[in-house]
Amino acid sequence: MQNFIQNGDVITVPAPAGGIASGEGVIVGNIFGIAAYAAAVGEPVELATTGVYQLPKTTAAVLTVGARVAWDNTAKNINVPGTGRFPVGIATEAAGNGITSVAVRVDGVGTVAA
């Protein structure tokens, strides 16, 4: 195909305000991804937009396998979907109250919930 650019599993974007650490989840526009390496604000950084990643979770959230999850871009963690959070994928493991991380299959889209 002449118009093919890339698979899209990993894309390059400018690092957001405050920069990004390797392995950190980030929202850039409506894209959610996991940083492949650390980058200062404005520097190019590669984001993995699909796959399963162990991500920080708000302690009180109770998630079941297959539950939709959202990214809280202020707290920088996974939570249940809600106002101001960005739906980013599904939990691939159960994670109850008191658990601080969860395996998530990210889908690369992070449109904020109203």
pLDDT in tens, 75-84: 999 999 999 8
Q: What is the pTM of this model?
A: 0.88
pLDDT band for position 4 (50/70/90)?
confident
Spatial contact of 40 and 34, defined as CB atoms under 8 Å apart:
no
**Of 35, 74, 47, residue with least CA distance to 58:** 74
Q: Which residues of 28-66 are buried (b: 16+ CB within 10 A; e: fewer)?
A: beebbbbbeeebeeeeebebbbbeebebebbeebebeee
pLDDT band for position 6 (50/70/90)?
confident
Q: Is the pLDDT of residue 110 over 70?
A: no
**Of 63, 71, 72, 73, residue with least CA distance to 89:** 71
Q: Is the pLDDT of residue 2 over 90?
A: no
Spatial contact of 97 and 57, defined as CB atoms under 8 Å apart:
no
Per-residue pLDDT tens digits for 31-88: 999 999 999 999 999 999 999 999 999 999 999 999 999 999 999 999 999 998 999 9
